[in-house]
Amino acid sequence: MPRPAWWRRAAYALKSLGGPLAAGALAALGFPPLHLLPVLPIAFFILMRSVDRAPTMKQAAAVGFAFGLGLHTVGLYWLINAVLIRASDFWWFVPFPSIGCGLILAPFAAVPAAFCRLAPAGWRRGVLFAGLWTLCDMGRLFLFSGFTWNPLGSDWAFHGLAGDILIQPVAWIGVDGLTLLTVLLAVLLPLGRRFVLPCLAVLVVWIAAGTARFYGVAHDGARTGSVQQPVVVLVQGNVAEKEKISRTDIQTVFDRYLRLTQRGVADGLTLAAKVPGAAPPVVYVWPETAYPGVLEEDGLTRTMIAHTAEGATEGIIGTLGVGPDGHWRNSVVAIDGGGRFLGRYDKARLVPFGEYQPPFLPLQIVPGGGMTPGPGSMSWHLPGLAAVGPLICYEVIFSGHVVDRHDRPDWLVNVTNDAWYGNSAGPRQHLAAVRLRAVEEGLPIARAANTGVTIVYDARGHDMGRLGWGVEGTLVRTMPPPLPAPLFARYGQAIPAVLCLLSVVVALTRRRRLS
């Protein structure tokens, strides 16, 4: 008996799309923390071969969709951990976060796979694909509140000196420019011997330029006229997410933060006293929502915190806020040495499905109806302190959108709580984004994380000290100086966008033969 048409179509789809789906999953192994870069040429070879063999543009789009589904489902596997924390309420939702995000993000791979067929097969098609892939990747900025997680350029952010050198080009072209370069190498390397040497030459130039910049800027001083950088005391409370959600022992957690702050500030004052000349200010930082109430409205608690941190100039504390509309906001507040309120910053980029719910979702899954966003990037000019740009958690992933371009700060502070995602790839991928923003902006960044990783990066993305995952403690460091604004900090994403458009033009321009 002949099989029905739907069966034949399903079998064909499985046969033609299974390879690209597996190739996308393979490519996800290049993301932090594995950084298995050799898998990328293999994965993209399978993808481009499938695109070439697809009989129509529509089927090429399906091939790209399958690749994107595999890439993002595996790359975001750790999202399941956030649901498992509340598994008793949302057990039915466990399979959906990773697969759902993969389905939402897969079209961003389908578009370049379809339209790269406008160029003839070979290097032109590969160059067109790389340009379109990167443009679509940049387009994720406009998905819901934005979801630019895991650009392929972040694959190069190895821990240690190798990563320090390899990520330096983002100071000129941003992580999206690095994504363009990564995809170009991945699609051109498998095309044959004549492309191997040029690709290796690009890598050599890349390493040479990264080395020259890394060691060259190491000798640059602080920006002319900048205020003395502070000593930061980063507090890592290591509070389990179930403990935060249940709120059963708030006093114990609060006492833990006070104890750690008192000890850390004492260490900070000792370090500040060793600095030649005038002692720098000491600033302590608590992670995202470390204080579970509205600290701005709680003068008694602010006074208690400031008394515990006696000697510190200011404190920057993750808390909750209430906007003019009466809705909750994810905030950080600054207080002075007497506990007086100095200012509040509200998170502007909210996590879709976590902090706010897109209107198309029929079921309410975000607790409390979600939050409302703040107005956007800003610089705090606190008394006696170098200008600081506050960032809350997820906001740090947005290349080119982390500082106020009209009021450039001297350093950045990022407070976060990655406890939702457990000891998985998620917090490491987030950490890679923090490091890349430091290089792109030429600004040192201090990151206080609830369960880790708490860290200080200098303006070259070099690790100045860290507290690992699951550790309770404080990290005390003098903030390194900022660098003059690099090329990317001045022109932002216009640079990788122009490079992508040039790739498209090169791929679609055919040389005329002389008669």
What residue type is 288 in one-letter code?
E
Q: Is 101 a catalytic residue?
A: no
- Taking the C-alpha atoms of residue 269 and residue 349, their distance in angstroms, rounded to an integer, is 35
Which of the residues 116, 136, 241, 347 is marked catalytic?
347
Phi, psi of 282 (to 5 degrees): -110, 130
* Ordered DSSP codes for 323-343: -TTS-EEEEEEEEETT--EEE
How far CA 276 is from CA of 29, 271, 297, 430, in Å, comes to 47, 11, 39, 36
Structure tokens at 196: 């191997």
116 belongs to the catalytic site = no
* Measured distance CA(265)–CA(262) in Å, rounded: 5
Phi, psi of 447, deg, nearest 5: -120, 120
Tokens of 325: 């509309």
Instruction: Out of 101, 136, 393, 500, pick the active-site residue.
Output: 393
274 counts as catalytic = no
Cα–Cα distance measured from residue 414 to residue 330, given in angstroms and rounded to the nearest whole number: 13
Cis peptide before 453 (omega within 30 of 0): yes
Catalytic residue chosen out of the listed positions 136, 241, 288, 440: 288
- In SS3 terms, 235-261 reads as EECCCCHHHHHHCCCHHHHHHHHHHHH
- Cβ neighbours of residue 110 closer than 8 Å, sequence gap 6 or more: 61, 62, 64, 65, 68
Yes or no: say if 231 and 280 are a contact pair by the CB < 8 Å rule: yes
443: number of CA atoms within 13 Å, CB side?
Answer: 30
Q: Judge residue 278's burial from the number of C-beta atoms within 10 Å of its C-beta, 0-12 exposed, 13-18 middle, 19 or more buried.
A: exposed
Asked whether 448 and 234 are in contact (CB, 8 A), the reply is yes
Cα distances (Å, whole numbers) of residue 1 to 4, 107, 292, 432: 9, 37, 66, 56
Active site residues per annotation: 288, 347, 393
